[in-house]
Amino acid sequence: MRKKVKNCGDKPFEFSVFARKTVVVFLCLFAALVILAGALIGAFFALRTAGKRSFDDRRQEQINAETQYSPDEEAYDKFSVSYEGKTYRYNQKLTTFIVMGIDGSKSTDAEDQIEHIGVAGAGQADAIMLLVLDEENLTADIIAVDRNSMSYFEAYDSDGASLGALESQLAISYAYGDGAHSSCKMTLNAVSDFMYGIPIHAYYSMKRQALRDINDAVGGVTLTIPVDMTRVHKSFVEGATVTLTGKLADKFVGARQGVGDGSNEGRISRQQLYLKAFISSAIEAVKKDWSLPKELYEKIADNSCTDITFDEMVYLADIVTRLDFSFHTIPGKTDTDGRYAEFRPDPEGFYKLILDIFYICED
């Protein structure tokens, strides 16, 4: 079992406001893939085995790249760190994914702050989270990374030439790419550096339309409105049974201001309510139409960008229902005195969080 860092793992972290929709959409994605995996029947086990092997290869490739060193660096062990008199070793069995919710609007902070962007209108990573999968212990740690986190990363002009290191919000790293794979890789590298260099093995980005498409593909999601939400939509009356379709699903999942006590905790409870209702709707929809899994997969692909292969997705879909999920945020403060919000992590709390999730205490 993974050993916890003293005075770190025992204290729960609150899930950040900024990641409000991304977590639900990503879990909905996995829920849809669970259904998809069940429909594969004969091919399922072969795909699952290939997917697991593929993730093993990803981790080993990362380890091999990290352990290349010159003779004069022979004594340096990049996978081992010391903290408060104890030795911690990076858990090489973890697989880490970066998941991004992309804001593709033309008027972005990125275009205001940056004179030359890789591709005009590429957007920015408005929501960022890490999914840390421990297959051995069947746990999944989800870390919300504030999109306003300040960090240094390499920037590029519209011709792809390097502009050197830039200190800016992590969300903007995405804007220097093509709005697809190169943007995802840029944000992946920027977040990895920000997270003390922890390996990130795969990426998945999604547009806001993804939630709406998945929701509507199962015929909408029916649930009971838990609190008065009429400021969000007139049909969201407390106690009313409503079938969420299209933008209504987006509104229900993301609403916070003017709802209940306005807290993020209240919103998270509503997101959990939505996810449970979605899974129920999806199961019933597939019973009626066995071609639906293929439709769900295609709709996800239309509004996403990923380097996760199909067999890897099948493997993830198979184990997701057995995972124990934990949610974390990075401790720190947001400075709003300037033109743009700047999140600065608390160094000690941030480092303890990294050790707690990614490292095993050897003492």
149 with 158: CB under 8 angstroms?
Answer: no
SS3 127: strand
* Token pair belonging to 324: 């124990």
* pLDDT, tens only, 304-318: 888 888 778 777 767
What whole-number percentage of the chain has pLDDT above 70? 70
* pLDDT, tens only, 15-25: 444 455 555 55
Whole-number Cα distances in Å, 2 to 23, 83, 133, 359? 24, 17, 13, 8
Mean predicted lDDT score pLDDT of the chain: 76
Instruction: Tell me the residue type at 338.
Output: G
Residue 336: CB atoms within 10 Å: 10
Mean pLDDT of 135-164: 83
Q: What domains are there in the chain, each with its CATH number?
A: 17-65+85-361 (3.40.630.190)
Which pairing describes strands 221-224 and 124-134: parallel, antiparallel, or unpaired?
A: unpaired
What whole-number percentage of the chain has pLDDT above 90? 24
* pLDDT, tens only, 208-267: 777 788 888 888 999 999 999 999 999 999 999 999 998 898 888 777 677 876 654 566
* Token pair belonging to 172: 């903007």
227 CB contacts (<8 Å, ≥6 apart)? 238, 259, 260, 266
**pTM for the full model?**
0.71
> Per-residue b/e over 56-83, b at no fewer than 16 CB within 10 Å?
eebbeebeeeeeeeeeeeeeeeeeebee
Distance separating alpha carbons of residues 247 and 95, to the nearest angstrom: 33
pLDDT greater than 90 at residue 200: yes
